[in-house]
Amino acid sequence: MLQAEGVQLLCLTASSGVPLFTRGSSKQLPFSVIGSLNGVHMFGGGQGVQLSCCETDRGDRVVWRVFRESVMLIAVSSSGDHTVTELQLCRLLENTWNCMVLVLGQEELSNVRNVERLKRDLRSCYRLIDRLLDRGEDESVMGDLTHCADCLLPQNTSLLQEALDAFTQASESEFGCLLIRGRVAVATEKWWRLVSQEVVLLSLLMRCLSGTTSCDYPVFLPVGSPTVAHRLLRFQLIQGVDVCTLCGPAPSLHHSETELVGRFWSPLMDILHGCLEQTQHSPAPSIALHPDILALLLINRESSRSLSLPGCHTTVTPQDAPPVPSTLRRWELLRLFYTFAVTRYFTTGEMVTSQADPLQEDFSQGFCHVPLHCYLVTEECKCYGLQTPQHQLFLLAALSMPTFALRSVATQTLTSITATTGF
């Protein structure tokens, strides 16, 4: 259906099928195809069938979802893009809806009175939605897929936490966060009480606003406050380092920028520069990884926080061995392995595989126990996943690592990270 590789996102009114916007692939679907996609979903609903996902005979994948019986979102991936899974498309639709609520509020989206006005208002969501479709330099930030907050573990956590708590209190708020290259370095206790998807979206919004030194932005919390807006005050301390608070009518942006930012953050500029440099190497520099590890994703299931760590891979590769994947490809493979593991093995709280593939459905439901480990050997790397009551670890290793060693390396890596950082 798509003339170019990629994902196209369609937004329509659920009742009449009027297109509100399309984002994504440079070659847009013809209006007749968009109408057909909406029509087949409406036909299924009229027959008591909920159509959620399908694949064409050429490998195109389509996912539908209706929100608040008002807005329909459709995601279409082309047959040429084999890196996009059903789980990713489903998360894209959910994240897109939450972005729309974050900017416009649930009331305006649930009760569409003027379609043309809504089309204009939705333009303010395009930057967020486009960031979801094209992550650019954010490949290692995976909160859009995992729905866990991407974190950084700075070396001077206590000093940064004290400064943030004092700055947030002076801003007459209890919700504050310090972000470094899109990762949460420290946050207040109330910030961590927000739903993890809200933390992910607020972090995404601040990355989209990174071109400004400061801003006062109204936001709705998709779960906590979908109908009442809060003020998001965001300040760029240095390029790549942002601090923000969620507050009420006070203080003013001018007062915070001129009186509070310098008072609390100027003494910590050297530390902030050090944290910024740290992100270019590892979100947790005290962790020593096995030399054959290419990348890993660690999720704390209790706190809904995650760490994505690049491997160093210092092992010498024989000349006749396959080349080691590039850094960008490693993050891509890690996202694919995460999707593979949580839809086939670690399915608790995750999307079960599509009923369009009964073989996979029987496979995932055929276990009489909860799988705790899984592994996969591909032509590019070896993958290993494990889960405990508190953590999930997804690890990529070079082909030079013996397959029988994957389990012990993964277990030791998990123990080392949690013991060293307390994550």
Q: Residue 113: its pLDDT value, please?
A: 86
Of 99, 134, 169, which residue is a domain's last? 134
Give the global pTM: 0.89
Q: Say if residue 98 is in the same domain as residue 32.
A: yes
* Both structure tokens of 63: 């996912």
pLDDT for position 1: 43
The residue from 278, 307, 327 where one domain ends is 278
* Domain count across the chain: 3
Arithmetic mean of pLDDT, 241-268: 93
Side by side, the strands of the sheet bearing 183-187 are 183-187, 175-180, 241-247, 225-238, 214-221
Residues 6 or more apart whose Cβ sits within 8 Å of residue 129:
9, 23, 96, 99
Residue 31 has pLDDT above 60, yes or no: yes
Residue predicted with more confidence, 84 or 315: 84
CA nearest 294: which of 342, 330, 265? 330
What value does the mean pLDDT of the chain take? Answer: 87
- Asked whether residue 286 is domain-assigned, the answer is no
The confidence band for 359, taking pLDDT boundaries of 50, 70 and 90, is very low
In a domain, 143, yes or no: no
What is the structure's pLDDT at 351?
45
Q: Is the pLDDT of residue 335 over 50?
A: yes
Answer yes or no: is 377 within a domain: yes
- Report the CATH number that the domain containing residue 377 is assigned in CATH: 3.30.450
Residue-wise pLDDT for 51-80, tens only, equals 889 888 877 889 999 999 999 999 998 766
- Tell me: pLDDT of 184 over 70: yes
Q: Which helix (H) or strand (E) holds 149?
A: strand 149-150
Q: Kindly state whether residues 98 and 168 are assigned to the same domain.
A: no
pLDDT-based confidence at 134, cuts 50/70/90? confident
Decide which of 278, 313, 339 is a domain's last residue: 278
Q: Model confidence at 311, in pLDDT bands (50, 70, 90)?
A: confident
According to the model, what pLDDT value does residue 364 have? 55
- Where in the sequence is the domain holding 253, given as residue range(s)? 152-278
